[in-house]
Amino acid sequence: MLAAASTSLSTTVWYTIRATGVVALVLLTVTTVLGMLSASRVRTRRWPAFAQVDLHKRATLFALVFLGLHVLTAVVDTYVHVGLLATVVPFTSTFKTFWTGLGTIAVDLLLAVAISSALRQRIAARTWRGLHWLAYACWPFALAHALGAGTDAGQLWMDAVAAVSTIAVLCALAWRIGYHRTTREEEARLGAVTTAVPVRHRPPTSVAARPTTPGPTNHVAHSTTPTATGLLERDPR
């Protein structure tokens, strides 16, 4: 009876490893695509910026949760023997060393992004932005791990998941590159137009003070009539 229970538990853990891995890959794809679209400032009336940012954060959080479950079940499983060290140090597992190592790299990169996001208010913006770019590098490692180490690789449904994920990320990347190129061209064109404006057509840097009183009084701005202050200065008393 104990043997049957142990076998049942091992089977449950094994299916959990596979399911959480696939779900984590899908969520990581979603957060990668949303990150690229947010950087490209894709906005619509039905898809405002705050909704996109909120969905991106939630997808990232769920990806971390399922990734944690995937790693935990892989460690406690008695069949694959991944090992606790292999969850943070790449290429130290005896189970499909190379492909498992790629998954470890994906975990490390995603953890770096999550930690930097949690400390965003305490680190420089440039440092946070540089670490946040690691999220884009995380996705290909995760996909390679799923196709190399996963036992479902080669199944039609898994190939479909991988194909759809790849197409989605490539389309978002193409959009991101196109937006960046268009932005740079517009900036260069604006700079060229500004430089081409002749100096005589530019507004003066300083404008002399002019009398505000209309009419003939404008012609007596420099009149020699002594002011009250001048009369007092000349008063012999």
Residue 68: the pLDDT is 93
Does 182 score more than 60 pLDDT?
Answer: yes
| Domain ranges across the chain | 2-192
**Mean model confidence pLDDT for the chain:** 77
Contact 77, 14 (CB under 8 A): yes
Average pLDDT over every residue of 92-113: 92
Residue type, 81: H
Separation CA 28–CA 151 (nearest Å): 20
Q: What's phi and psi for 207, nearest 5 deg?
A: -115, 130
Sorting pLDDT into bands at 50, 70 and 90, what band is 209?
very low
- Token couple for 119: 């400390």
Pick the more confident residue, 141 or 132. Answer: 141
Does 202 score more than 70 pLDDT?
Answer: no
Contact 104, 88 (CB under 8 A): yes
pLDDT tens by residue, 98-107: 999 999 999 9
pLDDT tens by residue, 5-52: 566 777 888 899 999 999 999 999 999 998 888 765 666 566 677 777
Residue 176: the pLDDT is 80
